[in-house]
Amino acid sequence: MSPQPQSAVGAPLSRVDGRLKVTGKALYAAEHDIEGALHAVIVDASVGRGRITSVDTRAAEQHAGVLRVIHHGNAPKLPYRDNAGSNNPEGRRLRVFQDDRVLFHGQPVAVVVATSLEAAQHGASLVKVRYAASTPSTDLADAERDEPTRYARGDAEAGLREAPVRLDLTYRMVRNHHNPMEPHATIARWDGGKLTVWDKTQWVVGTQTELAAVFGLPLESVRVISPFVGGGFGSGLRCWPHTSVAALAARELKRPVKLVMTRRQLYFGTGFRPAYEYRLRLGSDRRGRLRAAVHEMSAETSSYEKFDESIMGAGQMFYSTPNVSQAYHKVPLDVNTPLWMRGPGFTNASFAIESAMDELAVELGVDPIELRLRNEPPEDESNGLPWSTRRLRECYTVGAREFGWDRRDPRPRSTRDGDWLIGIGMAAGVYDPGRFPAQARVRLDADGTAVAEAATSDMGPGTYTSQTQVAADALGLSMRNVTFRLGDSRYPPTPPHGASMTMTVVGSAVLDACDKVREQAVKLAVEDEESPLYGVPAAEVIVRNGRLHPRGNPARGESYQRLLARNKLTHLAADGAYAGAPQPARHSYFSYGAVFTEVGVDARLGLVRVRRMLGVYDVGRVISPKLADSQALGGMVGGIGQALLEHTVTDHRDGRIVNASLADYLVPVNADIPDLRAIYLEGEDPDADPLGVKGIGEIVQVGVAPAIANAVHHATGRRIRELPLTAEALL
Ligand code: MOS
């Protein structure tokens, strides 16, 4: 086949769903108007550990409009079959209302169903639950650790002993919550034995498998619909208990039920980025070439599931190091189970590793970029594979040039602007994007328009738009003649909308389906005696604006409409697939970035302000530059939040989250965000996938926090090894 001209791909287009969003016509989970829907409000545990001794529902049930209160004392037993299909970590998942145990503060213990939201809310406040409570264990620093997962190559302890330069550094990162704009919500409706849910989820297929498992249904009896997701950052990668609560309530009441989590409930009803302690010992020669690295990590998980983030990967491949050992401990606590949050694993690993590299640079008096260049590995030392593309050197060169790195006086505390100490810092980033199998289907209609479908979500990256761009170019249609549909488990299955893989895997499946449809049309034309293309070699035909013609000869050709009409075809259609990462792997495949930032630190108040930031990214081909920028700037904002503001605070006396609201959990606002800029290295990753993309969504948060911490050190001479970096720590 002749390669198609690319006019939509690579163009800085606005969102195809932008108008729907700004006019309120893009419906989020709770906004679907399902006839006869009742309202449900969850009652959550007010103790951090223990047993429920009684549930008094009388006052609630007497309240006008309240129809039912469901709790462990009256709930039916549910099958809760095992399910590997919804990102459920190893362990025994929370089974709502199946027993009297309280495993964490905020666990759902009852649900009130009423004819109005107000009645359900008031009814929930009237439910009296009594507990036999004990003190929960919620402090990472003061709990038993599990046996670690280990990794080793060479002899790291010996390498450390022999290294002339040694650092022993411990970094701490607090718990963070995703806090998407749209709260998690579910509407559940039963039609006989079939369940339909409108749900906020990053994975309709995963939620479908989980609901089928919880209720013991065949997969095809569950349909999950989620056309718009108002932000996720990872919080929707799993089907959480409230979704089952909504479905259970709907089944019991024999009416559709809508359940919207409150802001507060999001802090224990969905996941979070676990807190970490990360001790890193580095040994290098006098030129800063690493000889050994020993990583010891501890992270929160729940008492009932072993959540495992990819915290170990970066330390195994990022810098050339002959001797490496790692021990990663999970620490079971009386909390709900964590889940991936933006740039999962790599974001926190990079805070430790990239801060430590900056400390090593200072120790040796070597420029931080030069130190990193001296440690660039020629191949992936964890598996011996060549890199697919690893263009970090270019990230450094371009970033240094565009940011004015060479004007930086390397001495800490060397630059002032009034009361402000000014510092410039940088950090590198790496992320391991997912590449799981995905499917799509495409139908080209006789009127010259096309519809492509896949089950994936769009939580904000612009999937509707970027997939339409891929389909439009592959079919040779204009953007407005292509519609992309997503967010329904009836569409061809796709993996989770996360791990930076949607563009890669869904895009490759869409491309495959569109290529097949175009091939069908071309074959039809060149074999059709009545076509002006009769006899032209198929490999020479391209399609542009819905018109098939030989490459370089637009005068000879015909439109899809004419071709299909003459052949009495209503449509052409094809299924497409992406098979997943090549097995066995031939290349080591990661996305990369380098973050540069300038901060001001108020010398008297300790206040840190980011003044400017630049990210330079090696992410392969960029399909949709305007949306890529939206991702990159959003990732930087997330990183600024993690670096300076975000901190979930737990009261260890009873396991309560103290700041479970957006008024008290600080996230950046516009006034916190300065001049941000993103640059993407041109080119594609030919080994990545048929589209040549590596994905943007996660890498853009990696490296932001250490770049800021390194800039703060440059500004003040103070090394803060804890996130967030607070004024208190700097005074
Ligand atoms: Mo991303 S943390 O996989 O939504």
Distance 308 CA to ligand 1 centre (A): 14
Is the distance from the beta carbon of residue 498 to the nearest atom of ligand 1 less than 6 Å? yes
Question: What's the pLDDT tens digit per position in 572-621?
Answer: 999 999 999 999 999 999 999 999 999 999 999 999 999 999 999 999 99
Q: Which of 176, 184, 203, 237 to mutate to test the pocket of ligand 1 (most atoms within 8 A of CB)?
A: 237
- The mean pLDDT of the chain is 97
Give the predicted TM-score (pTM) of the model: 0.97
Over 90: is that where the pLDDT of 428 sits? yes
Q: Work out which ligand 1 atom sits closest to the CA atom of 340.
A: 2
Distance CA 708, CA 657 (A): 27
Distance 697 CA to ligand 1 centre (A): 8
Is the distance from the beta carbon of residue 341 to the nearest atom of ligand 1 less than 6 Å? yes
The answer to whether domain 29-136+178-269 and domain 379-434+587-730 are alike in fold is yes
Q: Which helix or strand (DSSP H or E) is residue 61 part of?
A: helix 58-62
Distance 344 CA to ligand 1 centre (A): 7
Distance 25 CA to ligand 1 centre (A): 26
Which residue type is seen at 104? Answer: F
Quickly name the fold that domain 379-434+587-730 has. Answer: Aldehyde Oxidoreductase; domain 4 (3.30.365)
Q: Work out which ligand 1 atom sits closest to the CA atom of 499.
A: 3
Tell which phi-psi region holds residue 289, choosing left (phi > 0), alpha (psi between -120 and 50) or beta. beta
As a whole number, mean pLDDT of residues 237-250 equals 98
pLDDT at site 665: 97
Over 90: is that where the pLDDT of 689 sits? no
Is the distance from the beta carbon of residue 655 to the nearest atom of ligand 1 less than 6 Å? no
Over 90: is that where the pLDDT of 688 sits? no
Is the distance from the beta carbon of residue 499 to the nearest atom of ligand 1 less than 6 Å? yes
pLDDT at site 684: 80
With b meaning 16 or more CB within 10 Å and e meaning fewer, what string describes 142-177? Answer: eeeeeeeeebeebebeebbeebebbbebebbbbbbb
Q: Which of 698, 699, 701, 702 to mutate to test the pocket of ligand 1 (most atoms within 8 A of CB)?
A: 698
Reported confidence tier of residue 179, pLDDT bands at 50, 70, 90: very high
List the end-to-end C-alpha distance of the chain, in Å, as a whole number.
65
Is the distance from the beta carbon of residue 495 to the nearest atom of ligand 1 less than 6 Å? no
Q: HEC states along 560-611?
A: HHHHHHHCCCCEEEEEEEECCCCCCCCCECCEEEEEEEEEEEECCCCCEEEE
Is the distance from the beta carbon of residue 234 to the nearest atom of ligand 1 less than 6 Å? yes
Least confident window among 130-134, 216-220, 574-578, 689-693: 689-693
Q: What is the CATH number of domain 18-25+437-578?
A: 3.30.365.10
Q: What is the CATH number of domain 29-136+178-269?
A: 3.30.365.10
Active site residues: 698
Question: What's the pLDDT tens digit per position in 201-212?
Answer: 999 999 999 999
Q: Which residue has the tokens 């449509």?
A: 571
Q: Work out which ligand 1 atom sits closest to the CA atom of 434.
A: 3
Distance 19 CA to ligand 1 centre (A): 26
Question: What's the pLDDT tens digit per position in 13-32?
Answer: 999 999 999 999 999 999 99
Residue ranges per structural domain of the chain: 18-25+437-578, 29-136+178-269, 379-434+587-730
Is the distance from the beta carbon of residue 368 to the nearest atom of ligand 1 less than 6 Å? no
Over 90: is that where the pLDDT of 687 sits? no
Over 90: is that where the pLDDT of 217 sits? yes
As a whole number, mean pLDDT of residues 428-448 equals 98
DSSP symbol at 434: -
Residue nearest to atom 4 of ligand 1 (CA): 234
333: which 2 tokens? 């606590």
Is the distance from the beta carbon of residue 237 to the nearest atom of ligand 1 less than 6 Å? yes
Question: What's the pLDDT tens digit per position in 339-366?
Answer: 999 999 999 999 999 999 999 999 999 9
Distance 235 CA to ligand 1 centre (A): 8
Q: Work out which ligand 1 atom sits closest to the CA atom of 236.
A: 4
Q: HEC states along 105-174?
A: CCCEEEEEEECCHHHHHHHHHHCEEEEEECCCCCCHHHCCCCCCEEEEECCHHHHHHHCCEEEEEEEEEC
Distance 311 CA to ligand 1 centre (A): 14
Over 90: is that where the pLDDT of 119 sits? yes
* Residue partners of 523: CB distance under 8 A and separation at least 6: 538
Distance 234 CA to ligand 1 centre (A): 4
Distance CA 235, CA 224 (A): 17
> What SS3 class is residue 643?
helix
Question: What's the pLDDT tens digit per position in 153-178?
Answer: 999 999 999 999 999 999 999 999 99
Is the distance from the beta carbon of residue 461 to the nearest atom of ligand 1 less than 6 Å? no
Among 350, 439, 408, CA closest to 699: 350
pLDDT at site 685: 80
Reported confidence tier of residue 683, pLDDT bands at 50, 70, 90: confident
Over 90: is that where the pLDDT of 2 sits? no
ipTM: 0.98
Which residue type is seen at 94? Answer: L
Over 80: is that where the pLDDT of 379 sits? yes
Is the distance from the beta carbon of residue 332 to the nearest atom of ligand 1 less than 6 Å? no
Q: Which residues pair with 257 in a beta bridge?
A: 38, 188
Question: What's the pLDDT tens digit per position in 289-338?
Answer: 999 999 999 999 999 999 999 899 999 999 999 999 999 999 999 999 99
As a whole number, mean pLDDT of residues 639-644 equals 98
Q: Work out which ligand 1 atom sits closest to the CA atom of 459.
A: 4
Distance 262 CA to ligand 1 centre (A): 22
Is the distance from the beta carbon of residue 232 to the nearest atom of ligand 1 less than 6 Å? yes
pLDDT at site 1: 72
Rg over alpha carbons for the chain, rounded to the nearest Å, is 27
Is the distance from the beta carbon of residue 340 to the nearest atom of ligand 1 less than 6 Å? yes
Distance CA 578, CA 494 (A): 10
Q: Which of 87, 340, 506 to mutate to test the pocket of ligand 1 (most atoms within 8 A of CB)?
A: 340
Q: Work out which ligand 1 atom sits closest to the CA atom of 697.
A: 1
Q: Which residues pair with 550 in a beta bridge?
A: 541
